[in-house]
Structure 1
Amino acid sequence: MNDSYAIVTSADEGYANFVRNLAENCLRTFGQRLIVYDLGICEDTKKTIDAEFIEFKTSEEYKDINSKNSIRATHKPRCIIDYFHRSQQKFLFIDADCLFTERPVFPEADICLTFRIYSEQTASDFRKNGIINSGVILIDPLSKNKAGLECLLKNWISRCEGDQDSTDQKALSDILLDINNIISPGKTYKFNNAEILILESEFFNDVKRRTGSILHFKAASRSTEKMREYLLFYKLTKFSAILKAYIYANRFLLGIKRKKNPKRYKTRFLKEMS
């Protein structure tokens, strides 16, 4: 395992407050600056954010809402492949509306993706936006399988461009399902020899905000209630002992639930995927 990696995100002016808070959270948690793909942040705003910015030109289509009411976010694979060619170390590409509760330690793999969290493991969720939540992705551009990894990223871009109604995570999910029609968290799969490790969102991309090293406030920009929750947790990141006590207590409770009903928590997604 290796816990050394750069932290990268992307945002426009509409997500400036998320980026500002995430940049502060990164400095406090990792002692390093956030790297931001600038999709249209005002120069005056950037002066208020302690981060490194990479100007990136992209179509406004990334903000489009598809027919299933999901943001397409098709800029993401382009930002990732750009940094893939720049970086001299592993990097974590993370949505701007995330916060760290602690420094996550990722298992070794060429790329780590997070499976959709338990509460979103339904047939309708899988059909709507795939089996993967692409809000957290760890990539190793120094891998011996770099060529295969680059091929995966290019395939991802191609699928995003080829279907004007797709989203970034649905396109990525479809690539995985082409490899194997049943994808399970905790397992590794190969694409042109590149190793793809599927992680549990409960710990690495927690959209329920209870047990994760990374909390993901998905759609907080469109929900007053979620925004209030986000601001509360942002304040709590300044009191790490309190926040960790909350997270570890919930992890303990999750462990008990899984032991009492292992089939429900470990295999529900198999039935839903079929």
Structure 2
Amino acid sequence: MNDSYAIVTSADEGYAHFVRNLAENCLRTFGKKLVVYDLGICENTKKTINAHFIEFKASKEYKNINSKNSIKATHKPKCILDYFYRSQHKFLFIDADCLFTERPIFPEADICLTFRIYSEQTASDFRKNGIINSGVILIDPLSNNKAGLENLLNKWISRCEGDQDSTDQKTLSDILLSLNNIISPGKKYRFENAEILILESEFFNDVKRRTGSILHFKAASRNAEKMQEYLLFYKLTKFKALTKAYIYANRLILDIKRKRHPERYKTRYLKEMS
């Protein structure tokens, strides 16, 4: 288990308010500064954000919406590969519209990815944007299997460039499914010699915002109601005891649901993937 890692994100001016809040959230939670890949944040704005910035040129197409109404986000693997070469430590690459409720402790692996959350484990969701939610990725650039990780990231970039209508999540999911036609949360897979661990989003990338060490407010920038929820939770995370009470109460409820309906929660994705 490991909770020692850098926290890295990427954003342009349109996501500056998320980055500002995430930077404060990181300082409170970890006592360390957020690293931000600057895709076009104004200099005056950066002065208001307590973070380290890395200037990075990316095609403006990364924020386009594809034919399935999903943000392409194809810049992400390039940012990750760049930091992979720079870093001397493990790092967590996280979407800017996330917030920490506590310090997540990740199991050991060369790379940790999060499976799509239970409510999004439908055939329609899988076809639209893959089995993986790429909003949270932990990578160990000092791994003994560094070459395999580097090849995985380069293949991800190549897939993004080769399919102009896909998303970063869908291309990464397709790579995983080429290794094994059934990918399951909680299990490990190998790309060449690199060990890939698939984690449950309920705890590490919680887009339902109930039980996670990391809450993900996916699409809050395009949804006024979700933005209000995000702002409420941002204030809530300043009160550690209250936040933990909320999260752990919901984890207890989830555990009861899973015990009452074990097959539903364990096998839904298998039925939908098949």
The 5-angstrom pairing of residues 147-166 of structure 1 reads: 147-166=147-166
Q: Distance between the aligned counterparts of 2:105 and 2:136, measured in 1?
A: 13
The match for 2:93 is 93
Q: Report the 3-state secondary structure (helix = DSSP H, G, I; strand = E; otherwise coil) of the residue aligned with 2:198.
A: strand
Q: Counterpart of 2:264 in structure 1: which amino acid? A: R
The 5-angstrom pairing of residues 39-118 of structure 1 reads: 39-118=39-118
Q: Report the 3-state secondary structure (helix = DSSP H, G, I; strand = E; otherwise coil) of the residue aligned with 2:125.
A: helix
Deviation at 1:97, TM superposition (A): 0.1
The match for 1:133 is 133
The match for 1:216 is 216
Q: Counterpart of 1:50 in structure 2: which amino acid? A: N
Q: Report the 3-state secondary structure (helix = DSSP H, G, I; strand = E; otherwise coil) of the residue aligned with 1:199.
A: strand
Deviation at 1:2, TM superposition (A): 1.3
The match for 1:237 is 237
Q: Counterpart of 2:24 in structure 1: which amino acid? A: E
Is residue 187 of structure 1 aligned with residue 187 of structure 2? Answer: yes
The match for 2:175 is 175
Tell me, which stretches of 5 or more residues in structure 1 are unaligned? none
Q: Report the 3-state secondary structure (helix = DSSP H, G, I; strand = E; otherwise coil) of the residue aligned with 1:241.
A: helix
The match for 1:35 is 35
Q: Distance between the aligned counterparts of 2:164 and 2:59, measured in 1?
A: 13
Tell me the C-alpha RMSD between the 2 structures: 0.3
Q: Report the 3-state secondary structure (helix = DSSP H, G, I; strand = E; otherwise coil) of the residue aligned with 2:230.
A: helix
Tell me, which stretches of 5 or more residues in structure 2 are unaligned? none
Deviation string 1:184-223 (CA, Å, 9 cap, x unpaired) is 0000000011000000000000000000000000000000
Deviation at 1:245, TM superposition (A): 0.1
Q: Distance between the aligned counterparts of 2:63 and 2:97, measured in 1?
A: 15
TM-score (norm 1): 1.00
Q: Report the 3-state secondary structure (helix = DSSP H, G, I; strand = E; otherwise coil) of the residue aligned with 2:107.
A: coil
Q: Report the 3-state secondary structure (helix = DSSP H, G, I; strand = E; otherwise coil) of the residue aligned with 1:137.
A: strand
Q: Counterpart of 1:10 in structure 2: which amino acid? A: S
Q: Distance between the aligned counterparts of 1:165 and 1:106, measured in 2?
A: 32
Q: Distance between the aligned counterparts of 2:266 and 2:90, measured in 1?
A: 30
Deviation at 1:55, TM superposition (A): 0.1
Aligned identity (percent) is 86
The match for 1:205 is 205
The match for 1:273 is 273
Deviation string 1:222-250 (CA, Å, 9 cap, x unpaired) is 00000000000000011010011000000
Deviation at 1:74, TM superposition (A): 0.2
Length, aligned pairs only: 274
Q: Report the 3-state secondary structure (helix = DSSP H, G, I; strand = E; otherwise coil) of the residue aligned with 2:70.
A: coil
Q: Distance between the aligned counterparts of 1:255 and 1:237, measured in 2?
A: 23
Is residue 226 of structure 1 aligned with residue 244 of structure 2? Answer: no
Q: Report the 3-state secondary structure (helix = DSSP H, G, I; strand = E; otherwise coil) of the residue aligned with 1:2.
A: coil
